[in-house]
Amino acid sequence: MSTSEMFCFQCQEAGGGKGCTIKGVCGKEPDVAAMQDLLMYTAKGVAIVSHEKRKEAVLCETPNRYLADALFTTITNANFDLQVIADKVLKGLALREHIKQNIDLNALPENLRIHDALTWNAYTIPELEEKAKTVSVLNTVNEDIRSLRELLTYGLKGMAAYAEHALNLGYSDNDVFGFMEKGLIATLDDTLSVEELTGFVLECGKYGVNVMALLDKANTSTYGHPEITEVNIGTRNNPGILISGHDLKDLEELLEQTEGTGVDVYTHSEMLPAHYYPAFKKFEHFAGNYGNSWWKQTEEFETFNGPILFTTNCLVPPRKKSTYGQRVFTTGAAGFTGFSHIPDRPKGGQKNFRAIIDMAKTCEPPTAIESGTITGGFAHNQVTQLADKVVDAVKSGAIRKFLVMAGCDGRMKSREYYTEFAQKLPKDTVILTAGCAKYRYNKLPLGDIGGIPRVLDAGQCNDSYSLAVIALKLKEIFELNDINELPIAYNIAWYEQKAVIVLLALLYLGVKNIHLGPTLPAFLSPNVANVLVENFGIASITDVDQDIALLTGLT
């Protein structure tokens, strides 16, 4: 089966809860969606040959970097630039052919050696557009096989995002990339059963833990362990640059290049937790955080007045009447047609942010939209230092329950649930969070328990690993045999594919009874959803009061 229609159901906002078929709710046009599908198909072809080459125990830096970038580019809200995505397809085809010349193709299983993903080729955009019509996810007719293939694919996309951030800091794990290839190949293999694909999905969780640990090591080794920090959410009188996304290496280089220029740097959305790292605190012009979650950018970018740099996903296409479009720059996997793009750093060098800095100098300072501070920096190292205080609070009954409310935010009205949930939680509960989901409640006056804030922000969605480490540390301290015996409940919001790998990682660690919302993924078939429910206790959110009673043990 082939289709020329758009079909995408990889994010929480899938149209009608089933899939986007005319235009993505994210703003993605059908031709871009199709080219992203083709980029994924191309990456699978590269995976076949690079996995075979990896058997020679050689360093596979080039395919590692390509696979990370290709998968990251297709994450929701990362790249909307058709030409850029097409160029990455052509780059992948050239890489695939190069590796083919350096391996024994006869060593491949026959079903892979003759697979179209390994044999097709193209050289022009029209040829790519024609090919893109034939690689829809709907080509997999069996609903359960399709569901498992896509669940695995989206887990791999999330894995690739974390792996790329680590790569940018000089950290890599060939076993992670080896599994990434293995998983991509599995989505092409028509001989695999539902049970075998389920095994790949669960194994993806294992490597999800590994890649999150790798990124945690990369971040903390480079910038120090996050510390409890009050972050300014007001503005100064200097012109500013607003940096969004997740990549800390980009932030480091931007701060170095803006030092002494009279230009301040502000973080936006998922870049907020950068303020918690000691290495960034030496920059006096690192002014604070501006605005809220990613989906509010279309109004908040208007009032910032200066240039904006997107380092990764969470980009929203500007409205037709917006005035800030000419002030937006992208870099890395991010892209949008018409936005200026900062090229990758040369080997051993830095990215050149001069164009952004020069523009900032001509702009008015940002217009204040709020004032005050917010507190964060409760990653695993910091919480471990507070362990005695936390344990005493639990043993005394001052803290009865921890609620993990990590994950993503989104624009749907149904996400007001999470604000109401946080407001109504009993005063003897503490929220553990990471990711932009925190913007639903991190500015609420929820108070503290004996000096322990009732919202403990561990950082970006990239830092969800911290929440797992905290849980495992508490399990050790309380001398429990099962992580599920801890006074911790999970009410997680999801939006895109990095949340998928976090979920799979939690399942691998044995966490059960996770509530997931605001809706269950559209890519889960009824049978696959039932497997998650029956084996792991996955449940969807319902009514705030009912869920609070259930998750806090008040029933």
Helix (H, G, I), strand (E, B) or coil at 286: strand
Residues constituting the chain: 555
Whether 251 shows a pLDDT value over 50: the answer reads yes
pLDDT in tens, 175-215: 999 999 999 999 999 999 999 999 999 999 999 999 999 99
Record the tokens describing residue 335, joined without a space.
């892209």
Q: Enter the pTM of the model.
A: 0.96
- CB atoms near residue 235 (< 10 Å): 22
Q: Are 31 and 544 in contact (CB under 8 A)?
A: no
pLDDT in tens, 448-496: 999 999 999 999 998 999 999 999 999 999 999 999 999 999 999 999 9
pLDDT in tens, 76-106: 999 999 999 999 999 999 999 999 999 999 9
**What does the pLDDT read at residue 4?**
43
Alpha-carbon distances of 37 from 25, 138, 145, 279, 313, rounded to whole Å: 17, 11, 18, 39, 17
Residues 6+ apart with CB under 8 A from 323: 302
Residues 6+ apart with CB under 8 A from 130: none
- Amino acid in the structure at residue 33: A
pLDDT, mean of residues 123-146:
96
pLDDT, mean of residues 500-514:
96
What is the pLDDT of the chain when averaged over all its residues? Answer: 96
In angstroms and rounded to an integer, the radius of gyration of the C-alpha atoms of the chain is 23
In whole angstroms, give the CA distance from residue 109 to residue 548. 52
Residues 6+ apart with CB under 8 A from 332: 72, 164, 245, 247, 250, 311, 312, 344
